């Protein structure tokens, strides 16, 4: 199999793009694709400082590597949730720190146990009925937004890839969750009440492509998935979409990108769920709909 960039020996064939590339051409090609996505959706520019949400996995580390190579100003944030199973949090934190140190990049580490006194699994056990994942989502949103504000970053970037976005779209469509469909976008603008702009520069990059990029760039990432993800329905959707993709190359890409295009030209319209008015949390100052203390601050009162 020949590289269609230079005629050398190709290491990856991407049926959805009808393209095969070698170990030199592929990383360049993928970075250009991400650069195009950043510009196409107006995610950020050279004057912005991007805070990359880093999990220690391939997608977020590949994203940070690309942004640094593309000369964007960036810092990283890692939230240590204190997940003990197989040392998951310790391993992923170690990978994130090693990545940042090797490249001279700044990584902010938030250690939940050291800072607030309990891990996400401990809190989930204490609050019977709350899943670790629902707490995790709320904790991450709060802490990432706090670190972004405190470190003068102007935008928060996550490593969600095309497979993640297609699976989310599939789940939202299956239940016609129109409020979520209205908000599923590569860019969520900043809100006047203090939520940072959020962007997904890898939304057109397949999971297989980001894994190949991490491998070719010599990025040491955590291979294991979070132990709580086993129960996630998104994994079922990903398997279904992969099955579809193997029969019909580019199915995932067209499912997601054609949805965005149709919505942008007004062919489908979904009404956003109206958010109740926001106030500032009495303790941390971050926006909340709860009045008084925000959900994050109330969590540590229990």
> Interface residues with ligand SF4 (CB under 6 A)?
132-133, 136-137, 226, 228-229, 232
At its nearest, how many Å lie between ligand SF4 and the CB of residue 136? Answer: 3
Question: Of 132 and 156, which has the nearer Cβ to ligand SF4?
Answer: 132
By CB under 5 A, which span of 11-19, 38-46, 209-217, 292-300 interacts with Zn ion?
A: 292-300
C-beta closer to ligand SF4: residue 20 or 132: 132
DSSP track, the chain? -B-TTTSSB-SEEEGGGTEEE-TTHHHHHHHHHHHHHHHHTT---TT-EEEEE--SSHHHHHHHHHHHHTT-EEEEEEEE----GGGHHHHHHHHHHHHHHHHT--EEEEEHHHHHS--HHHHHHHSTT--HHHHHHHHHHHHHHHHHHHTT-SEEE----HHHHHHHHHHHHHTT-HHHHHH-SSEEPPPTTSPPEEE-TTTTS-HHHHHHHHHHTT-----SPPGGGGG-HHHHHHHHHHHHHHHSTTHHHHHHHHHHHHHHTTSS--PPPPPPPPEE-TTT--EESSSSS-HHHHHTT-
Site for Zn ion in 270-289 (CB under 5 A): 281, 283-284
228 contact, one of ligand SF4, Zn ion, none, CB 5-8 Å limit per kind: ligand SF4
Q: Is 20 in the site for Zn ion (CB under 5 A)?
A: no
Query: Of the two residues 92 and 286, which places its CB atom closer to Zn ion in the complex?
Result: 286
CB of 22 to Zn ion, least distance (A): 3
Closer Cβ to Zn ion, 9 or 248, answer by number: 9
Closer by beta carbon to ligand SF4, 132 or else 148: 132
* 22 interacts with, out of ligand SF4, Zn ion, none, CB within 5 to 8 A per kind: Zn ion
Q: How far is the CB of 1 from Zn ion (least distance, A)?
A: 11
Residue numbers of the site for Zn ion (CB under 5 A)? 3, 5-6, 8, 22, 25, 281, 283-284, 294, 297
């Amino acid at each position: 199999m020949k590289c269609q960039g230079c005629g050398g020996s190709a290491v990856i064939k991407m049926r959805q793009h009808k393209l095969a590339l070698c170990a030199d051409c592929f990383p360049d090609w993928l970075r250009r694709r991400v650069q195009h996505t950043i510009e196409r959706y107006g995610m950020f520019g050279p004057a912005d400082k991007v805070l990359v949400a880093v999990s220690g996995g391939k997608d977020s580390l590949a994203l940070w590597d690309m942004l640094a190579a593309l000369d964007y100003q960036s810092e990283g944030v890692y939230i240590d949730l204190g997940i003990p199973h197989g040392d998951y949090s310790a391993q992923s934190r170690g990978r994130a720190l090693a990545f940042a140190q090797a490249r001279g990049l700044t990584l902010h580490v938030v250690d939940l146990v050291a800072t607030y006194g309990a891990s996400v699994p401990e809190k989930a056990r204490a609050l019977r009925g709350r899943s670790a994942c629902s707490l995790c989502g709320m904790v991450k949103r709060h802490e990432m937004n706090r670190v972004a504000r405190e470190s003068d970053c102007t935008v928060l970037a996550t490593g969600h890839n095309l497979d993640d976005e297609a699976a989310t779209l599939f789940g939202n469509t299956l239940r016609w969750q129109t409020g979520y469909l209205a908000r599923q976008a590569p860019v969520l603008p900043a809100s006047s009440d203090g939520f940072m702009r959020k962007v997904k520069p890898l939304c057109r990059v397949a999971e297989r492509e980001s894994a190949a990029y991490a491998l070719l760039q010599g990025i040491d990432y955590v291979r294991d998935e979070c132990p709580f993800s086993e129960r996630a329905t998104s994994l079922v959707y990903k398997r279904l979409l992969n099955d579809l993709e193997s029969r019909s190359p580019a199915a995932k890409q067209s499912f997601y990108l054609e949805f965005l295009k149709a919505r942008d030209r007004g062919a489908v319209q979904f009404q956003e769920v109206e958010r109740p008015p926001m106030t500032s949390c009495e303790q941390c100052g971050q926006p909340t709909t709860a009045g008084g203390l925000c959900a994050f601050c109330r969590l540590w009162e229990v």
